[in-house]
């Protein structure tokens, strides 16, 4: 209730200031409650864990691992924290986050501002020791520092450092706001890069290693990246990050901002990328679907296109923290209407 009252107020503020204020509330612990039981039809076993429901919080909301206890309490089935880089960095100049309420989209060019791996680890460990939801599923999303020329070195350091702590690790090579990062998606670079990370992971732990990709890929690129990823032994994909595309119908002042676009406008594009990868991997590589999910129907569509789990961020900005519960209730109804007993039965069943 309190959260609902706060939304219009937060929407009047600059987007990043509103987020900082929200984080202050979330990390204070005052709103943190223990996660409620979910309907059993939503539970899914994956990566050696049982996800209580398929709706996760996407990376970027909590870059320093400060709010996962509160967010799990709001009903997310899992939370991904980061992107964390080895060293702290300030990111791009502000303002760097823009909302368009009329179309329910967001543009950001944050550039991985974060307090670095040391602070991140302290926060993460405090949660694992004292959190009300300390056994909840938390993935750690890793990236490289802007001024690091040897990208692999940063990823190796973070896979080594967080491998034993995370429930899963996400290798983020798809943010459009770190110059050159997306070049790592080129199969010629991707193959040796991922092979090396899998070696580092294998030497340390058996934590699932996922790769997060951009939506701005042609069908041919999806096919060659899928072939490449299958060769490397990574455990899953996150599809997708934000897009560089700017549909004409968006208001001009918003559309002209540089950065990655997310929200409703990304729904179909990411859906298509999920469909492509599901097909090219014969459904054998688990996919976490992200991009414009804002209700049960859009979450269900991604699952039917091949996603095993879902993530969202932008819709939270417009609808507030009761969104995961709302989506999960809707999913239970959609499953029943389709005569399915468990969410797993819907994966890839378009």
Ligand X SMILES: Cc1cc2nc3c(=O)[nH]c(=O)nc-3n(C[C@H](O)[C@H](O)[C@H](O)COP(=O)(O)O)c2cc1C
241 binds ligand X (CB under 6 A): yes
**Is residue 89 a contact partner of residue 114, using CB atoms and an 8 Å limit?**
yes
| 86 vs 291 by CB, closer to ligand X | 291
Closest-CA residue to 239 (of 254, 221, 252, 259): 221
| 41 vs 236 by CB, closer to ligand X | 236
Q: At what angle do helices 267-280 and 219-232 cross, to 10 degrees?
A: 50
Q: Is 80 helix (H, G, I), strand (E, B) or coil?
A: strand
Q: Which of 70, 266, 274, 343 binds ligand X (CB under 6 A)?
A: 266
Residue with token string 């680890």: 121
- Calculated CA dihedral for residues 240, 245, 248, 254, nearest 10 degrees: 90
Smallest distance from the beta carbon of 1 to ligand X, in angstroms?
Answer: 24
110 binds ligand X (CB under 6 A): yes
262 binds ligand X (CB under 6 A): yes
314 binds ligand X (CB under 6 A): yes
Smallest distance from the beta carbon of 263 to ligand X, in angstroms?
Answer: 5
Smallest distance from the beta carbon of 341 to ligand X, in angstroms?
Answer: 28
303 binds ligand X (CB under 6 A): no
263 binds ligand X (CB under 6 A): yes
- Which of the ranges 39-47, 178-186, 188-196, 308-316 carries the binding residues for ligand X, by CB under 6 A? 308-316
313 binds ligand X (CB under 6 A): yes
Structure tokens at 73: 């309490």
166 backbone φψ class: left, alpha, beta (φ>0; ψ -120 to 50): beta
97 binds ligand X (CB under 6 A): yes
| 41 vs 324 by CB, closer to ligand X | 324
Task: Reply yes or no on whether 314 is catalytic.
Answer: no
What is d(CA 149, CA 130) in angstroms, rounded to the nearest whole number? 37
Q: Which of 91, 139, 291, 306 binds ligand X (CB under 6 A)?
A: 291
Q: How many residues bind ligand X (CB under 6 A)?
A: 27
Q: Compute the residue count for the chain.
A: 350
Alpha-carbon dihedral sign for residues 172, 176, 178, 183: positive
| 41 vs 194 by CB, closer to ligand X | 194
Q: Which of 181, 209, 293, 334 binds ligand X (CB under 6 A)?
A: 293
Beta bridge partners of 309: 288
| 267 vs 340 by CB, closer to ligand X | 267
- Which of the ranges 106-114, 192-200, 281-289, 322-330 carries the binding residues for ligand X, by CB under 6 A? 106-114
| 41 vs 170 by CB, closer to ligand X | 170
Check 175, 262, 270, 298 and give the catalytic one: 175
What is d(CA 320, CA 314) in angstroms, rounded to the nearest whole number? 10
172 binds ligand X (CB under 6 A): yes
32 binds ligand X (CB under 6 A): no
| 46 vs 110 by CB, closer to ligand X | 110
What is d(CA 74, CA 61) in angstroms, rounded to the nearest whole number? 14
- DSSP letter at 114 equals B
**Is residue 237 a contact partner of residue 279, using CB atoms and an 8 Å limit?**
no
Residue nearest to ligand X (CB): 60
**Is residue 64 a contact partner of residue 120, using CB atoms and an 8 Å limit?**
yes
**Is residue 30 a contact partner of residue 349, using CB atoms and an 8 Å limit?**
no
Task: Specify burial of residue 196 (Cβ count, 10 A radius: 0-12, 13-18, 19+).
Answer: middle
The catalytic site residues sit at 175
Q: Where do contacts with ligand X occur on this chain (CB under 6 A)?
A: 58-60, 63, 83, 97, 106, 108, 110, 112, 141, 172, 175, 212, 241-242, 262-263, 266, 290-293, 312-315
């Amino acid at each position: 209730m309190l959260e609902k009252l706060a939304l219009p107020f937060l929407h009047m503020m600059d987007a990043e200031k509103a987020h900082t204020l929200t984080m202050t509330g979330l990390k204070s612990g005052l709103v943190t409650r223990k996660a409620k039981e979910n309907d059993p039809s939503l539970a899914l076993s994956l990566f050696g864990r049982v996800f209580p429901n398929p709706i996760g919080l996407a990376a970027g909301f909590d870059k320093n691992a400060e709010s996962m206890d509160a967010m799990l309490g709001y009903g997310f089935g899992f939370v991904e924290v980061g992107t964390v880089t080895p060293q702290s960095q300030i990111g791009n100049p502000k303002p760097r986050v823009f909302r368009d309420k009329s179309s329910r989209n967001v543009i950001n060019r944050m550039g991985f501002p974060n307090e670095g791996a040391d602070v991140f680890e302290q926060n993460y460990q405090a949660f694992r020791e004292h959190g009300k939801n300390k056994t909840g599923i938390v993935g750690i999303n890793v990236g490289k520092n802007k001024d690091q020329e040897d990208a692999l070195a940063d990823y190796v350091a973070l896979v080594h450092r967080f491998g034993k702590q995370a429930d899963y690790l996400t290798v983020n090579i798809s943010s459009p706001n770190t110059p050159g990062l997306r070049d790592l998606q080129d199969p010629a670079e991707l193959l040796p890069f991922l092979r090396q990370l899998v070696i580092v992971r294998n030497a340390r732990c058996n934590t699932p290693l996922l790769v997060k990709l951009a939506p701005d890929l042609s069908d041919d690129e999806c096919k060659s990246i899928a072939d490449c990823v299958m060769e490397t032994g990574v455990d899953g994909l996150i599809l997708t990050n934000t897009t560089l595309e700017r549909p004409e119908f968006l208001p001009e002042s918003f559309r002209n901002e540089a950065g990655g676009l997310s929200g409703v406008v990304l729904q179909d594009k990411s859906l298509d990328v999920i469909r492509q990868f599901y097909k090219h991997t014969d459904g054998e590589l688990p996919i976490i679907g992200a991009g414009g999910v804002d209700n049960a129907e859009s979450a269900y569509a991604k699952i039917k296109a091949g996603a095993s789990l879902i993530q969202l961020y932008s819709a939270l900005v417009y609808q507030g923290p009761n969104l995961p519960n709302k989506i999960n209730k809707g999913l239970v109804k959609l499953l029943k209407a389709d005569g399915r007993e468990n969410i797993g039965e819907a994966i890839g069943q378009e």
